[in-house]
Homo-oligomer: A and B are copies of this chain.
Amino acid sequence: MSFQATFKALSDPTRRAILDLLKDGAKTAGEIGSSFEMTGATVSHHLSVLREAGLINDERRGKFICYELNLSVLDEITGWVAGLKGADPHEK
């Protein structure tokens, strides 16, 4: 997916908190879930939004599923913001 999916994914505070949480390293769905006051099903939904946006990767490890950051897609975002800030070389 794309640009728009990435922005949408980042627009929710729970999803940003999940990304912040994963800064310290990969975590299982359960560990992530227990950081929030919502059901595991809801957290699982947020994880799938982040995954579809390409912001995280998942990997099954036995009984658990581990999630980790994949921040390469953020380059598009930072590039767009930089462009807005006048980094464009040939402006009118």
Within 8 A of B (CB), among A23-48: 23-25
Total number of A residues with any Cβ neighbor in B under 8 Å: 26
CB closest residue in chain B, given A20: B84
Does A74 contact B69, Cβ atoms closer than 8 Å? no
CB closest residue in chain B, given A10: B7
Does A11 contact B8, Cβ atoms closer than 8 Å? yes
Can you list 21 A-B pairs, Cβ within 8 angstroms, ordered by A? A4-B13, A7-B10, A7-B11, A7-B16, A10-B11, A11-B11, A16-B80, A19-B84, A23-B83, A23-B88, A23-B91, A24-B91, A24-B92, A25-B92, A69-B84, A71-B84, A74-B81, A74-B84, A74-B85, A77-B81, A78-B78
